[in-house]
Amino acid sequence: MHLRRLGLAWLFFVAMAAAAHAQGPQVVFTFDDLPAHGPLPPGMTRPMPVKSILATLKAEKMPPVYGFANGYRVAQYPYQIEILDAWRAAGEPIGSHTWSHPELDLMTAQGYIDDIKQNEPLLKRVHPVGDWHWFRYPFLEEGNTLAKRDAVRSWLFRNGYHVAEISLDFQDYNWNDAYARCALKHDERAIKDLHDTYLQAASEASKAFRQLSHTLYGRDIPYILLMHVGAFDAKMLPELIQQFRSEGYSFIKLEQAEADDAYQFDPHVTTKGGSTFMEQVAAARKVTVPELPDFTDELNKACRESKESGKVKE
């Protein structure tokens, strides 16, 4: 009887594991730089990209999606509080991206902590109900010395914050600048190239980070994708979501992803210029990271023949 119970238990475990495997990979979409990111193409006003993103999230029936806000934008342009209010009115949560989007590598831990504190009144204003204590490091810089890293993380945890890590990144922000330039020139061929490379980069990054996850953990961990509230991100979001679906992904909330055991590990490393969570874990475990797509040079050259540049409209 005892052996029979063990056999049934093992069959149950195998069935649960098979079900989890059949479910396929999971991904969380997150957006940095609320309420504004990057230059805008002609004819577009600052609220429009966020309005488009919110419409897509609703149409695609996505789970709640965190946006990470910098308060200095609202201080510069007070009307942009309406963008944050619209994000919350759509049922999407907001977390902290610091007040001024500073580089932790270039400042003291206390100066950085003070910048985080400065953002809190805004978060309390726009997010009076629910948890705004999720923090996203600008530039993915978590500290270029262990002492600085530990000081900031200790303060965050003592004050009820969770770190919104990133485990999937294709440097989407690079396309927003290029799009503004190409739209200004009405270069439809170049915009089509941006469309194609954007989806290509996302797909290649997905494969690379999944490979790294299987190397580190022997499985797919729930992936947390870094996005920005830029004009091209907004334009491409419907197709990007469909591409992730076609690759077998399902969509979950940030809280669900970070409940996974993988995210309970602190790699306790420093990386110059910032890096994703799994890249930090790989550095701690001396694991080689697969080659990641990098279209930076190509995008920096796109539509630069003219001396004109897209003007940021506020």
- Mind listing the pLDDT tens digit for each residue in 174-209? 999 999 999 999 999 999 999 999 999 999 999 999
Q: In the predicted model, is pLDDT for residue 14 greater than 70?
A: no
pLDDT tens-place string over residues 138-162: 999 999 999 999 999 999 999 999 9
Indicate if the pLDDT at residue 15 is higher than 70: no
- What pLDDT is recorded for position 221? 98
Looking at the predicted structure, is the pLDDT value of residue 40 above 80? Answer: yes
Q: Which tens digits make up the pLDDT trace of 99-129?
A: 999 999 999 999 999 999 999 999 999 988 8
pLDDT > 70: what percent of the chain? Answer: 90
Q: Can you tell me the mean pLDDT for 208-231?
A: 98
Rg of the chain over CA atoms, in angstroms? 21
Q: How confident is the model at residue 3 (pLDDT cuts 50, 70, 90)?
A: very low
* C-alpha neighbours within 13 Å on the C-beta side of residue 155: 16
Arithmetic mean of pLDDT, 271-291: 94
Query: What residue ranges define each of the domains in the chain, with the CATH number in brackets?
Result: 25-301 (3.20.20.370)
What is the reported pLDDT for 130? 80
